Chains A and B, each alone.
Chain A
Amino acid sequence: MDLDRDARRILDLATEARAPAAADKARVEQKLAAVLGVGVIVATPAIATEAAHAASTVVGGAKAAGGATLKWWLASAVIVSAVTGYVALSTKPQAPPPTRPIEAPQVTPAPVPVTAPSPTFALDEAPETLVPSRPARATTSKKRDTSNSLGDELELLHRAQSAWRAKDAAQAMTLLDQHRSRFPRSELKLERDGLRVLTLCELGRKPEAKALAQKLLERAPRSPLRATIEESCALK
């Protein structure tokens, strides 16, 4: 049975009606940038240099204007873009360009509970960094960590990121370890390990950073974090 012309017309009209507006796309993009916090646009070394130049002028201008908050369309960059200090900016007011890296929105660091001493980290203590991040089916256990929501995970990672940005690498490592402990099967392992590599660099633990970075890139060679990790102490 096929559909007649009237039925097709209904489908066409409904399809038109449900097409998203440009504002819908921009709004979701803005939210995504805030949620992911790790960048929705991949920086490449070639454009990073160009971006750094742009940042030095455009961001400088923004700061000179009173340190105004970056506009929403400046979506977040790779989690560690601040390492190299570059910021890539779009000159388009309505939408980010297709390939430019862009800076993470300035996130006010959440209060960080100072409770646990910074634990030491060894690669052999973090086997989950090396296993596929594809989630296991819940066939072996119905047990569910009631706190295991992506929101909780993101919150913890954001706090770790904020600590790292604030040069508090020990606290960042503590939070990353908390994350690993609470969310051993996290979907955000790649992001967590990327930040861990940088934190290890910050702590001067280059051999560990290098080992983790190599395994991370073996695991996900096309990770959006690749460029950042390659720029870090781990692979330099």
Chain B
Amino acid sequence: MDVVSDRARDDLSGLLAGAPEVPAGDSLPAPAAGPVSVVHEDLSFREVYDRYFAFVWRSAANRGVRQAALDDVVQEVFIVVHRKLPEFEGRSSVRTWIASIVRWVVTDYMRKRGNQPAGDELPEQTASTGAMPLEELERKAAVQLLDALLSKMSEEQREVFVLHELEHMSGIEIAEITGVNENTVWSRLRAARKVFQEGVAREKARGSREQA
């Protein structure tokens, strides 16, 4: 599965590799007019890319985008950012705005992906950090457990959990991104934490049994 249209890939021989399809009439995240008032960060696209690339990459991965599609999804996010940045008026933080774009793009990707076979799903690869093999294994195991537990959450719970626990966004920011009130955010987060905590506890217990 790929978000890139085959036609674009074939016709342009890589020139447009990664060009996403944008359904006519779909609504891209507009520069938010949410409750968060911040000083406008007058950033160039270059600065936005440098500052938020890791955030976008990680957010997309944590939202379930597979390794093989990450390039395309992240690229699509920044295409939208590039187009919309001149209109960004700073009524929300840049990070919140970009998180909204990630949300939209990933949702679109998931919708297109649908029930198709996950033929593009390569083994998750962790960043090469020069770490010892044991540490690498530990990281990989953590990712696998995280993904397994995220999959046990409802979509709403998973979104709030990822934004708060992994991206460290505030309740107000998450409310702005998801369009629900803050109380709902906290309610979802409580439920998501319960799923996660219980899953970790089960895994820990299982590991203890196997070692015994």
- A14 interfacial contact with B, CB 8 Å: yes
B46–A98 touching, CB < 8 Å: yes
Complex CA gap A72/B151 in Å reads: 38
**B21-63 interface bits toward A, Cβ cutoff 8 Å, 1 = contact, 0 = none:** 1111111101000000000001011110110011001100110
In the bound assembly, the distance between CA atoms of A152 and B71 in angstroms comes to 20
Given contacts A21-B127, A150-B79, A152-B7, whether A14 and B146 have CB atoms under 8 Å apart is yes
Number of A-B contacts (CB under 8 A): 210
Judged by a CB distance under 8 angstroms, whether B138 is at the interface is yes
Q: In whole angstroms, what is the CA distance A42 to B20 when docked?
A: 23
A2 contacts the other chain (Cβ, under 8 Å)? Answer: yes
- Give the residue among B19, B145, B190 with the most A Cβ atoms within 10 A: B19
Residue of A nearest to B140 (CB): A17
The closest CB in chain A to the CB of B139 belongs to A17
Tell me which residues from 175 to 212 in chain B have a Cβ below 8 Å from any Cβ of chain A. 190, 193-194, 196-197, 200-201, 204
- Residue in B closest to A144 when the chains form the complex, CB atoms: B24
Complex interface: chain A residues within 8 A of B169 (CB): none
- Whether B15 sits at the interface, judged by CB under 8 Å, is yes
Q: Is the interface of A mostly helix, strand, loop or mixed?
A: loop
Q: Is the CB of A7 within 8 A of B197?
A: yes
CB within 8 A of A151: which of B12, B23, B127?
B12
Q: What residues on B are CB-neighbors of A32 within 8 Å?
A: 18, 49, 75, 78-79, 82
Chain A residues lying within 8 Å of B11, measured Cβ to Cβ, are: 110, 151, 155
Residues of B within 8 A of A (CB-CB), count: 71
State the majority secondary structure of interface residues on B: helix
List residues of chain B with CB within 8 A of the CB of A15: 58, 166
Question: Do the beta carbons of B62 and A18 come within 8 Å of each other?
Answer: yes
A107 proximity list for chain B (CB < 8 A): 15
Decide if B86 touches A190 in the complex (CB within 8 Å): yes
Enumerate A1-47 residues with CB–CB distance to B below 8 Å: 1-4, 6-7, 9-11, 13-21, 24-25, 27-29, 31-32, 34-36, 40-42
Per the 8 Å Cβ criterion, residues 167-216 of A in contact with B are 185, 187-188, 190
A91 within 8 Å of B (CB atoms): no
With a CB–CB cut-off of 8 A, which chain A residues contact B154?
none
Chain B residue nearest to A15 (CB atoms) is: B166
In the complex, A135 has a CB within 8 A of chain B = yes
Does B5 make an interface contact (CB < 8 A)? yes
Contact with B23, one of A2, A144, A152, A188 (Cβ below 8 angstroms): A144
B22 contacts across to A, CB distance below 8 A:
148-150, 187
How distant is A41 from chain B, measured CB to nearest CB, in Å?
5
Q: Is the CB of A135 within 8 A of B26?
A: yes
Residues in A with CB closer than 8 Å to B172 are none
Proximity string of chain A (129-158) to chain B, C-beta cutoff 8 Å, 1 when within and 0 when not: 000111111100111110011111011001
* Inter-chain contacts of B118 with A (CB < 8 A): none
Q: Count contacts on A: residues with CB < 8 A to the other chain.
A: 65
Q: How far is the CA of A31 from the CA of B71 in the complex (A)?
A: 9
Task: Indicate whether B128 reaches chain A with its CB closer than 8 angstroms.
Answer: yes
Q: How far is the CB of B170 from chain A (nearest CB, A)?
A: 16
Kindly state whether residue A84 has any CB partner on chain B within 8 Å.
Answer: no
How far is the CB of B85 from the nearest CB of chain A, in Å? 8
Q: Is A10 within 8 A of B146, CB to CB?
A: yes
Separation of A138 and B27 alpha carbons in the complex (Å): 8
Q: Which residue of chain A has its CB nearest to the CB of B23?
A: A144
A40 vs B47: C-alpha distance when bound (angstroms): 10
- Beyond the given A3-B197, A6-B200, A35-B17, could you list 14 further A-B residue pairs with CB under 8 A, ordered by the A residue number? A1-B194, A13-B138, A18-B58, A27-B71, A36-B79, A138-B26, A141-B25, A142-B25, A144-B24, A150-B19, A150-B79, A151-B8, A155-B16, A220-B86
**6 A-B pairs, CB-CB below 8 angstroms?**
A18-B62, A21-B128, A32-B82, A185-B24, A187-B83, A224-B86
Where the two chains meet, the residues of A that have a C-beta atom closer than 8 Å to any C-beta of B are 1-4, 6-7, 9-11, 13-21, 24-25, 27-29, 31-32, 34-36, 40-42, 96, 98-99, 107, 110, 132-138, 141-145, 148-152, 154-155, 158, 185, 187-188, 190, 220-224
